[in-house]
Amino acid sequence: MITPKAPVVNESDLIRDTIRRASIDGLFMGDIVEGFISLLTDEQKLTLKEQLNDYQEETDYHLYGGTAD
């Protein structure tokens, strides 16, 4: 009986294509966020900036144990 061979997957091509797709998706999401932010008032932009800074500080604390580095 003839046993079919498993298809060969070129992992470097797969990784390259995955990174390329993620880059394109990231640029697309960046455009959406930029458009959203451009619609905000100055006060809303300031509030958003403060919220993002608080979130970043909280994330840094959880990831790095509150260290400055």
Q: Which residue has the higher pLDDT, 1 or 27?
A: 27
Coil vs helix vs strand at 20 = helix
Domain boundaries, the chain: 15-63
- In this predicted structure, which of 4-13, 22-31, 44-53 has the lowest mean pLDDT? 4-13
From CA 32, how far away is CA 39, in angstroms rounded? 11
Does pLDDT of 62 surpass 70?
A: yes
pLDDT of residue 67: 58
pTM for the full predicted model = 0.56
Query: Is the pLDDT reported for residue 34 higher than 60?
Result: yes
40 DSSP 8-state letter: S
Mean confidence (pLDDT) of the chain: 89
Calculate the alpha carbon distances from 21 to 14, 16, 25 in Å: 11, 9, 6
pLDDT at 66 over 80: no
